[in-house]
């Protein structure tokens, strides 16, 4: 076979590293989706749109006063918060009145939200491509056994575990995390002991959307910021959440790993159809474990 010649050990290693940094982004976005699914039981179709807004906001903030490292870091902090604020307004203003409805209605409502966001982004930022460069010390690359590896990807590899640890701390060690996990299992009971479930839902929704925004902010320097990046990520995030187990954060991590690695290694094997490999992995996983690899919360 012709393609076999391309696969050397170092090329494989490089692709694994690239896949791992892709995994970081996927994990951050999918964990937010999984959080919302686990507690609110809503497939948030607007999640990809919030990710897109995160990327556009990062671009806007980072280039507001000329490009400098300081503004880039500020943008990384401010943009996800902006997304969180938007989702907070949406949740408290509209969405929280609908929790009694069927899942189908809630899904369609988040779809309506994503449609509105899609056109708002077009209205505000136009339909041009945007690109953002990372601060100087994150630019360029260093070599790993002869292959260049971008510094920014290394940065992502550091951020990913940090976010995972933060999420673990939030869900297992804090009061709100414990209440949210309890509400995921039995929301009536949690309400019965005097906790305002509606506000817990709001908090979880906002945190989940914050993660979408964070994913968008982190991805901004690595690719073109454009209309349509919402559609690309949302399906991937859905798949990751499904193979991982709905509502399970570690499932999201596992799913993101499977997705990121099969994608990046698939590029070595069959470039044109690399996109197919992660999907094949999903089908294989689901054939044997229809409810995902790890235990889902519902």
Q: Is 276 in the site for another protein (CB under 8 A)?
A: yes
Residue selected from 7, 275, 289, 295 as contacting another protein according to rule CB under 8 A:
275
In contact, 208 and 44? CB cutoff 8 Å: yes
Query: Alpha carbon of 227 to those of 39, 199, 266, 289: distances in Å?
Result: 30, 32, 26, 35
Query: Alpha carbon of 238 to those of 30, 52, 78, 147, 243: distances in Å?
Result: 7, 16, 26, 33, 9
Q: Is 123 in the site for another protein (CB under 8 A)?
A: yes
Q: Is 273 in the site for another protein (CB under 8 A)?
A: yes
Q: In the stretch 39-78, what mask flags binding to another protein with x, by CB under 8 A? A: --x-x-x---------------------------------
For residues 13 and 7, give the distance between their C-alpha atoms in angstroms, rounded to a whole number: 10
Which of 121, 143, 101, 106 shows the shortest CA–CA distance to 49? 121
Listed ranges 7-15, 130-138, 200-208, 267-275: which one lies at the site for another protein (CB under 8 A): 267-275
Distance, C-alpha 37 to centroid of its chain: 13
Q: Is 284 in the site for another protein (CB under 8 A)?
A: no
Residue selected from 122, 178, 289, 295 as contacting another protein according to rule CB under 8 A:
122
Three-state DSSP class for 282?
helix
Question: Which residue lies nearer to another protein by CB, 2 or 102?
Answer: 102
For residues 146 and 252, give the distance between their C-alpha atoms in angstroms, rounded to a whole number: 33
Tell me the number of residues near another protein by CB under 8 A. 45
> In the numeric block, which tokens belong to residue 226?
């454009």
**Burial of 192 (C-beta count, 10 Å sphere; 0-12/13-18/19+):** exposed
Q: Cβ 266 to another protein, closest distance in Å? A: 12
Three-state DSSP class for 139?
coil
Question: Which residue lies nearer to another protein by CB, 119 or 186?
Answer: 119
Q: Cβ 216 to another protein, closest distance in Å? A: 19
In contact, 24 and 157? CB cutoff 8 Å: yes
Question: Which residue lies nearer to another protein by CB, 58 or 114?
Answer: 114
Hey, which residues between 99 and 118 contact another protein (CB under 8 A)? Answer: 99-105, 107-109, 111-116, 118
Q: Cβ 83 to another protein, closest distance in Å? A: 18
Hey, which residues between 224 and 263 contact another protein (CB under 8 A)? Answer: 231, 235, 238-239, 241-242, 246
Question: Which residue lies nearer to another protein by CB, 46 or 84?
Answer: 46
Distance, C-alpha 236 to centroid of its chain: 9
Question: Which residue lies nearer to another protein by CB, 178 or 289?
Answer: 289
For residues 257 and 240, give the distance between their C-alpha atoms in angstroms, rounded to a whole number: 9
Instruction: Specify the DSSP class assigned to residue 295.
Output: P
Q: Is 189 in the site for another protein (CB under 8 A)?
A: no
Q: Is 92 in the site for another protein (CB under 8 A)?
A: no
For residues 11 and 137, give the distance between their C-alpha atoms in angstroms, rounded to a whole number: 25
Interface positions with another protein (CB under 8 A)? 41, 43, 45, 94, 97-105, 107-109, 111-116, 118-120, 122-123, 231, 235, 238-239, 241-242, 246, 272-273, 275-276, 279, 282-283, 286-287, 290-291
């Amino acid at each position: 076979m012709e393609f076999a010649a391309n696969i050397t050990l170092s090329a494989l290693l490089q692709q694994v590293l690239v896949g791992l940094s892709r995994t970081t982004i996927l994990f951050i976005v999918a964990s937010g989706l999984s959080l919302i699914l686990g507690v609110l039981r809503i497939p948030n179709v607007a999640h990809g749109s919030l990710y897109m807004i995160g990327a556009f906001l990062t671009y806007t903030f980072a280039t507001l006063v000329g490009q400098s490292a300081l503004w880039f870091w500020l943008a990384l902090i401010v943009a996800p918060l902006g997304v969180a604020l938007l989702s907070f307004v949406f949740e408290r203003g509209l969405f929280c009145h609908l929790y009694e409805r069927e899942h189908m209605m809630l899904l369609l409502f988040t779809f309506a939200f994503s449609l509105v966001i899609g056109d708002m982004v077009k209205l505000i930022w136009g339909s041009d491509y945007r690109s953002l460069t990372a601060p100087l010390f994150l630019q360029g690359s260093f070599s790993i056994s002869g292959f260049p590896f971008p510094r920014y990807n290394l940065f992502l590899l550091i951020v990913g575990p940090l976010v995972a640890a933060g999420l673990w701390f939030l869900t297992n060690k804090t009061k709100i995390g414990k209440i949210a996990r309890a509400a995921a299992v039995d929301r009536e009971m949690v309400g019965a002991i005097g906790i305002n479930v509606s506000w817990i839902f709001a908090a979880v929704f906002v945190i989940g959307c914050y993660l979408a925004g964070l994913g968008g902010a982190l991805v901004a320097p690595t690719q073109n910021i454009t209309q349509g990046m919402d559609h690309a990520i949302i399906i991937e995030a859905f798949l990751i959440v499904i193979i991982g187990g709905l509502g399970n954060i570690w499932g999201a991590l596992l799913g993101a790993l499977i997705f990121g690695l099969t994608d990046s290694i698939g590029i070595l094997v069959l470039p044109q159809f690399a996109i197919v490999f992660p999907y094949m992995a999903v089908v294989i996983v689901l054939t044997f474990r229809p409810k995902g690899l790890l235990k889902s919360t519902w």
